[in-house]
Structures are given as structure tokens and as C-alpha cells.
A = this chain, B = another copy of it.
Amino acid sequence: MFDTLAAMLDWFGIVVFTVTGALVASRKQMDAVGFVLLGTVTGIGGGSVRDMLLGRLPVFWVAEPAYLLTCVCVAFAAFFLAHIPASRYRALLWLDAVGMALFAVAGAERALLSGTAPSVAVAMGVITATFGGMIRDVLGGETPVILRREIYATAALVGAALFVLLSLAGASREAGLTAGFL
């Protein structure tokens, strides 16, 4: 049950981050390939860095191509829909926050399952949540997310820490997930 829930978080986070990558591609007026590349890198970048640091190789989307195909499809769909939102930048900020919350918890949980220390699990949550967006911003030529909106990094940190604390305290993992998410 829990594993499904964690996988669901991961999945939603990937879709949401792919959309943020596509939105940056939209702001930069890139073509369809640019949308797909930037969206996919943003969607799977944070998790890839986490897996490489933990030594869980090959990274998750190599073993499970569905992740990759989802990113490509979502980014491609975004290419045709990207002109619709009235304010792309506001949507970007919003989605970024949602994606970070999802990834912070999912990343911390993956690390705990790998048997890391609690502090390392929190760091992995923050890394999973922030690195996809950082790579997106660096490649897109924008000021990296870490500088612009520290409030989100703080949220990722608090979410991951709360989740790890509750997990340690033996709380039902669903409770930890919910708390980490808020």
C-alpha cells in the first residue's frame, strides 16, 4: 500500500516538474524538441541525481521506461497547450511548489528504504526536490531557483524533515506522508 503511495507521489511529481520545464521552454520560445528535452530533464533530473548519489543504479527511469515516455508525452502535450495559461510564470511558481513537496517526501522515503541515516534521508529529499528545477534553470539560462525562491527550498527541507521524523517515531507512514506534504 505504502509503496504504491510513494510511487504515486513520485509519478505526480515527475508530471508536475515536466510541465514546469515545458513552461520555461515556452517562456524561451523553444520548439517542440526543446520542450521535450527541458521538460524531461526537469522531470527526471532530481530523481536521477538522488539515485546516482545513493548508488541505486541504473537510475529509476532506465529500468522503467514508462517514466521517460510519460515525460516525453506530457512535454509534447504542453507544447500545444502552453499558450493557454494567462500567466505562465505564476503557473510555474505554483507547480514548482507542488512538485517540490511531492519529491521531498518521495526522495526522503527512497533514501530511508535504502537504509541511510535520517539526516542523509532529509538531504536526499531536498536534493530530489530541488535539483530538477536547478538543472532546468541553469539550462534555460534563468537565475537558478535556489536564489530566486528560497521559500520553496525551505518548504522542501521542512517537508522532508517532518516526514523522516514521523517515520522514525513509528507513526503510520501515511501520516508521515501527509504531514511531510503539508
Contacts and interface: CB of A to CB of B under 8 A. Distances in A.
Interface in A150-182: 150, 153-154, 157
Contacts of A153: 33-34, 37
Interface in A119-147: 119-120, 123, 126, 130, 134, 138-141, 143-144, 146-147
A68 to B, nearest CB: 6
Contact of A62 (B40, B116, B139): B116
B138 A34 contact: no
A38 B119 contact: no
Contact of A58 (B31, B53, B144, B157): B53
Copies of this subunit = 3
A120 B61 contact: yes
A116 B141 CA distance: 32
A182 B134 CA distance: 34
Most chain B CB atoms below 10 A, which of A30, A38, A62, A117: A62
A7 interface: no
Given A30-B150, A33-B150, A37-B126, 6 more contacts: A34-B147, A34-B150, A54-B62, A58-B116, A68-B123, A140-B147
6 contacts: A40-B123, A48-B53, A55-B62, A61-B123, A65-B120, A139-B144
Interface of A: 28, 30-31, 33-34, 37-38, 40, 48, 52-55, 57-59, 61-62, 65, 68-69, 72, 114, 116-117, 119-120, 123, 126, 130, 134, 138-141, 143-144, 146-147, 150, 153-154, 157
